Amino acid sequence: MGRHIYVHNPFCVRKCPYCGFFSVTDRSLAEKYYEAAVKEALFWSEYGKSFIHTDDKGPDTVYFGGGTPSCVPEKLVCGLLETIAGSFGIGKDSEITLEVNPASFTPEKGKAYLSSGFNRLSMGVQSLDDSVLKTLGRLHDSKGALKALDAAFEAGFANVSADFITGVPGQDLEGVLNDLQKVLDKGVKHISTYSLMIEEDTPFYDKYSNTIEDLVSPDAERGMYHEVRRFLQGKGVIPYEISNSAVPGFESRHNTSYWDGCDYYAIGAGAHGFLNSVRFGHDEDIVSYISFASNINKDDVGKIFSPECMNIDGFIYFEERLTLEDRMREYPFLKLRTSKGIDTAEFKQRFGRDFEEVYKEELRSNIEKGYLKSEGQNIFLTKSGLDFANLVMEDFL
Ligand code: SF4
């Protein structure tokens, strides 16, 4: 089990009308934010080792997500990665991902990212249909997205992922498959497809919460989901998780670490981490984050992860210590997201109990309904189980 680091960049150029993520459009504090994040990275590299049980090699994966990391000056992002690399030590085989958006990605930035150590880009393409992009309120058009992908490959990135959104009003299956083909033709090796979610407190909620099922029927949305997976599979881009597909060998190691229940550090406002069975979340307040992280020091070690799991105002807003029983309950929840599903031998090794015994009823009823299938030592969602994934997973919690 290696080490993993998640860094949250909360800045975006403009708020997309469907977005429920933590992000802000005022970038005036970006420089101070990254200075604070550098301090937090140094803090974890110095004192974090006492919280986790791993060998001493550098992090296996680093992931800069957002928000839009490419919308702040590249020197901030690259500087933080260089601090992480220098303080934690990054192995030569580490996977180091940066989320970027076509509208703020340039060939110059691509080169700077690559030379500072990033070796994987995740590009927020979302669609190559200009009317769909307009509906989504994105800043780029299809031409800009394809140009940004060209720039990524020209800069020297061999490992590029593209994000797409499905189930958008006005979108059709043929168009989505054409879009996927175009990015595969460019050399993209990993594709994430997310179904549009109508989140509360977003402009999309006001606009679509009562009408979305008339505009995109749940059957049509599910049909599109399965057709997309079938199409990608046929192209050798194998679905390995509910929303993710990859050419074998290009699966996201960082995201896989979440589903494997690995430890991971979290740096930045709003970032969530998991260290030595403690799950924690940073406050979503940039000013407080800057003020706390800028002065973080050895004295804070005892406050973070105190036995009482006390929150730290403005820095950590929740902490939850998981017992072995909690982790056992969480195992199927995380693993059922993946195509390999639950590994009963691994379960026995981790928790000392037989999966089939602990979850006898849940297993029986979901297999009877046709939502789960067992093959050898693995238990995974069937095609119809994928349509009820949340319900099935909740059954095991
Ligand atoms: S770019 Fe991404 S994080 Fe930023 S507002 Fe749009 S969807 Fe949200």
On whether residue 314 sits in a domain, the answer given is no
The CATH number given to whatever domain includes residue 109 is 3.20.20.70
- Give Cα 307 distance to the centre of its chain: 29
Q: Do 349 and 213 fall within a single domain?
A: no
Residue 77 to residue 64: CA distance in whole angstroms: 8
Q: What is the pLDDT, as a whole number, of residue 57?
A: 62
- Residue whose CA lies nearest to ligand 1 atom number 7: 19
Q: What is the pLDDT, as a whole number, of residue 155?
A: 97
The answer to whether 145 and 105 have CB atoms below 8 angstroms apart is no
Q: What is the pLDDT, as a whole number, of residue 310?
A: 60
Q: What is the pLDDT, as a whole number, of residue 52?
A: 59
Task: Compute the distance from residue 270 Cα to the ligand 1 centre, in Å.
Answer: 14
- Residue whose CA lies nearest to ligand 1 atom number 5: 15
Q: What is the pLDDT, as a whole number, of residue 221?
A: 94
Ligand 1 pocket: which of 11, 21, 123, 192 to mutate (most atoms within 8 A of CB): 21
Q: Give the contacts of 213 (CB within 8 A, at least 6 positions apart).
A: none
| Strand extents, DSSP E, 167-213 | 190-195
Nearest ligand 1 atom to alpha carbon 15 = 5
Task: Compute the distance from residue 98 Cα to the ligand 1 centre, in Å.
Answer: 14
On whether residue 297 sits in a domain, the answer given is no
Domain boundary among 258, 280, 315: 258
Residue 297 to residue 277: CA distance in whole angstroms: 22
Residue 257 to residue 252: CA distance in whole angstroms: 9
On whether residue 103 sits in a domain, the answer given is yes
On whether residue 132 sits in a domain, the answer given is yes
Digit-coded pLDDT (tens) for 9-54:
999 999 999 999 999 999 999 999 999 999 999 999 988 776 655 5
On whether residue 274 sits in a domain, the answer given is no
Q: What is the CA radius of gyration of the chain?
A: 21
Q: What is the pLDDT, as a whole number, of residue 73?
A: 98
Per-10-residue mean pLDDT, the chain, length 397: 86 97 97 98 85 64 97 98 93 94 97 98 98 97 98 98 97 97 98 96 94 91 97 98 98 96 94 89 94 90 69 80 93 97 97 96 97 97 96 93
Q: Is 90 strand, coil or helix?
A: coil
Task: Compute the distance from residue 266 Cα to the ligand 1 centre, in Å.
Answer: 19
On whether residue 312 sits in a domain, the answer given is no
Ligand 1 pocket: which of 11, 13, 15 to mutate (most atoms within 8 A of CB): 15
Q: Do 240 and 328 fall within a single domain?
A: no
Q: What is the pLDDT, as a whole number, of residue 338?
A: 98
List residues bridging with 85 in a β-sheet: none
Q: Do 249 and 331 fall within a single domain?
A: no
Q: What is the pLDDT, as a whole number, of residue 2?
A: 54
Domain boundary among 227, 258, 289: 258
pTM of the model: 0.95
Q: Do 206 and 329 fall within a single domain?
A: no
On whether residue 311 sits in a domain, the answer given is no
On whether residue 372 sits in a domain, the answer given is yes
| Residue 86 structural domain | 3-258
Nearest ligand 1 atom to alpha carbon 101 = 1
Digit-coded pLDDT (tens) for 379-396:
999 999 999 999 999 999
The answer to whether 344 and 354 have CB atoms below 8 angstroms apart is yes
- DSSP character at residue 264: B
Residue recorded with tokens 């990212």: 113
Q: Is the dihedral of CA 99, 105, 110, 112 positive or negative?
A: negative
Q: Do 329 and 248 fall within a single domain?
A: no
| Strand extents, DSSP E, 16-119 | 59-66, 95-100
Residue 325 to residue 396: CA distance in whole angstroms: 12
Task: Compute the distance from residue 42 Cα to the ligand 1 centre, in Å.
Answer: 28
3-9, strands of its sheet edge to edge: 238-239, 244-246, 190-195, 160-166, 120-126, 95-100, 59-66, 3-9, 265-267
Pocket around ligand 1: residues whose beta carbon is below 6 Å from it? 12, 15-16, 19, 21, 23, 66-68, 101
- DSSP output for 326-354: HHHHHHHHHHTTBSS-EEHHHHHHHHSS-
The CATH number given to whatever domain includes residue 353 is 1.10.10.920
Q: Do 153 and 15 fall within a single domain?
A: yes
Domain boundary among 228, 243, 258: 258
Task: Compute the distance from residue 246 Cα to the ligand 1 centre, in Å.
Answer: 23
| Domains contained in the chain, number | 2
| Strand extents, DSSP E, 67-118 | 95-100
